[in-house]
């Protein structure tokens, strides 16, 4: 946001962005963001860029239906995204943080926090008690972010390809469900 004073010639610029829900028709934007994330941080995600690039439009439409997708935007550009998914059969009061990515230029500016907050608020509005995720054990930076934002390890892990994933969880009880755009300034 630009702030100016009529009596001053100095313009103070702060970093600002907003979080919004992706609309169903924005599947091409989802595809673009997902491919960008996979190119930038292939070690953080399971699928390869090549595999995701070959996916059909119907696959991306299905992804829009299976998850609630949030995008972080600054100006006219997208700087991150996150997805929350419905509960698994054995965890009906839990929602899942399926995907999270923030552009390297925007890390450590509160974007991940706001994206996770958007997913957590959606989960609370959907009657969830908790939000879980799986993260590669080797991804210490992501684990540190998740811990700072309230996730704790459950002690459960599982193999994924040649790596191990660990399960983390956080409570969403007491959160006020929000809708629409989530403005944030940092």
Question: Domain count of the chain?
Answer: 1
Q: Whole-angstrom Cα distance, residue 113 to residue 104?
A: 15
Q: Give the tens place of pLDDT for each residue, 133-153.
A: 999 999 999 999 999 999 999
Residue 65 lies in a domain: yes
Q: What is the pLDDT of residue 182?
A: 40
Residue 99 lies in a domain: yes
| CATH number of the domain encompassing residue 148 | 3.40.630.30
Residue 157 lies in a domain: yes
Q: Whole-angstrom Cα distance, residue 102 to residue 137?
A: 19
Q: Give the tens place of pLDDT for each residue, 171-184.
A: 998 775 554 444 44
Structural domain boundaries enclosing 166? 2-181
Q: Give the tens place of pLDDT for each residue, 2-50.
A: 332 333 333 333 358 999 999 989 999 999 999 898 888 877 776 677 7
Residue 20 has a CB neighbour count (10 Å cut-off) of 15
Residue 186 lies in a domain: no
Q: What is the pLDDT of residue 23?
A: 92
Residue 83 lies in a domain: yes
Q: Which helix (H) or strand (E) holds 136?
A: strand 130-136
Q: Report H helices in 8-166.
A: 27-40, 49-53, 57-66, 111-125, 140-148
What's 118's DSSP letter? H
Angle of helix 27-40 relative to helix 57-66, nearest 10 degrees?
90
Cβ-contact 119, 97 below 8 angstroms: yes
Q: Give the tens place of pLDDT for each residue, 77-120.
A: 999 999 999 877 777 899 999 999 999 999 999 999 999 999 99
Q: What is the pLDDT of residue 50?
A: 77
């Amino acid at each position: 946001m630009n702030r100016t004073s009529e009596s001053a010639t100095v313009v103070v610029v702060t970093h600002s962005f907003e979080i919004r829900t992706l609309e169903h028709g924005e599947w091409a934007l989802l595809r673009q963001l997902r491919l960008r994330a996979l190119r930038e941080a292939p070690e953080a995600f399971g699928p390869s860029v090549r595999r995701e690039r070959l996916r059909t439009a119907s696959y991306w439409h299905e992804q829009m239906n299976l998850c609630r997708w949030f995008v972080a935007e600054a100006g006219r550009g997208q700087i991150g995204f996150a997805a929350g998914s419905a509960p698994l059969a054995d965890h009906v009061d839990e929602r899942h943080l399926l995907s999270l990515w923030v552009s390297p230029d925007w890390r450590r500016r509160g974007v991940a926090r706001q994206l996770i907050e958007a997913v957590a608020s959606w989960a609370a509005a959907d009657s969830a008690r908790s939000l879980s995720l799986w993260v590669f054990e080797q991804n210490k930076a992501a684990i540190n972010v998740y811990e700072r934002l309230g996730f704790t390890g459950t002690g459960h892990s599982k193999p994924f390809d040649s790596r191990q994933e660990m399960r983390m969880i956080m409570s969403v009880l007491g959160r006020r469900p929000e809708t629409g755009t989530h403005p944030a300034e940092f």
